[in-house]
Amino acid sequence: MTDLNSSASPLVLGAMSFGSLVDQDTSFTLLDRFVERGGTWIDTADCYSFWASPTGHGGASETVIGRWLAERPSARERIRISTKVGAEPLWPGSWPEHRTGLSARAIREAFDGSRRRLGIDVVDLLWLHQEDRSVPIEESVEGLAGLTAEGFVRRVGASNHPAWRVERARAHAKAIGGVPIDALQLNSTYLQVRPGTRPPGVVHPFGVLSAEQRDFASANGIEIWAYTPLLSGAYDNQDKPIPDVYQHQGTEDRLTALTEIAAEHGAGRGQIVLAWQLAHGIRPIIGGSKLYQLDAAMDAAAISLTAEDLARLDAPL
């Protein structure tokens, strides 16, 4: 299902902070530039960003995107909207123990809210945001199947789910004539954490892209979308240290290769990280709150890494 080689930009604009940490005017400016630079996919969620909201609930990101679309109706023909359901707190401060979850009813109600805030008739890709072990995955699939059958959703994906549950979901979707999951959204970057640790902010036990998930996706033609690919700017911003969970000898070796190749291409280390992900068929989700950050990320899509570059970057730890 990947279209990383199409003329459109393969990068995804992550809108997590729009309407909360990033004000509406700045959000509109970033959205305009993204489209101007050939961007297609915009990614959000119904729970963004509840942790930065005075109400303790999400919805601000979808609301800002909806206002932007309302002011630029022709943009809808050029972009695709990706949103997620299942991780919105039931009440302020209740996450992650108490969230809306992934029952068929919860999916329908959450989706109706997302569609209303976005002001659109159809969502191009709807994600199960965080696995819900209290609900059989088959019930979640049936909830999605109702939305795809009614034409409200074109594609479905799974974020922060283990491979075995995604496979079970795909099998059930095929059995009932539904649309199977064809995309995974997981945390992924160039550096690797120490065994037994997780990157900051990743609370999901299956939230970091693993070799098994990657192999599963490759074998089944499933897209991989990577969130937090740039470690929130730590590759290039000296004021943002690389998180401690990445501190080991393998990191030093990888950073050496990354720094050398970035210098050879006249690029930033973060740009090489994005180019490396794209070369491996991974679709990075880029954030940031400033135009120069967005432009630098968009420029990375034009960097062509050689086979030698990739061999050096992929050297065993």
Confidence of residue 218 (pLDDT cuts 50, 70, 90): very high
Q: Say which DSSP state 98 is in.
A: S
Q: Could you tell me the sign of the dihedral formed by the alpha carbons of 57, 166, 146, 69, in that order?
A: positive
Query: What span, in angstroms and rounded, lies between the C-alpha atoms of 182 and 264?
Result: 36
Reported as a single tens digit per residue, the pLDDT across 45-55 is 999 999 999 99
Identify the CA nearest to 274 among candidates 317, 304, 308, 311: 304
- In this structure, is residue 1 part of a structural domain? no
- Does 30 fall in a domain? yes
The answer to whether position 189 is within a domain reads: yes
- The residue behind tokens 């075995």 is 164
* Residue 104 domain flag: yes
Handedness of CA 43, 48, 51, 54 (dihedral sign): positive
Tokens representing 286? 């880029």
Helix (H, G, I), strand (E, B) or coil at 242: coil
Residue span of the structural domain in which 87 resides: 12-313
| CATH of residue 34 | 3.20.20.100
Backbone angles phi, psi at 264, to 5 degrees: -65, -30
Each residue of 168-217: pLDDT tens digit? 999 999 999 999 999 999 999 999 999 999 999 899 999 999 999 999 99
Host H or E run for residue 147: helix 137-149
Q: What integer is the mean pLDDT of 245-270?
A: 96
3 located within any domain:
no
User: CA–CA separation, 316 vs 250, rounded Å?
Assistant: 8
Residue 277 lies in a domain: yes
Sign of CA dihedral 36, 40, 46, 48: negative
Q: Mind listing the pLDDT tens digit for each residue in 77-110?
A: 999 999 999 999 999 999 999 999 999 999 999 9
The tokens describing 175, both together, are 């059995």
CA distances (Å), origin 107, targets 12, 143, 153, 266, 298: 23, 6, 12, 46, 33
217, part of any domain:
yes
The answer as to whether 57 is a domain residue is: yes
Encoded amino acid at 284, one letter:
P
pLDDT band at 3 (very low <50, low <70, confident <90, very high): low
Overall domain count for the chain: 1
Per DSSP, the chain holds a count of helices (H) and strands (E) of 10, 8
> Which residues are within 8 A (CB) of 61 and not within 5 positions of it... i.e. 6 or more apart?
15, 16, 17, 18, 19, 20, 44, 45, 48, 49
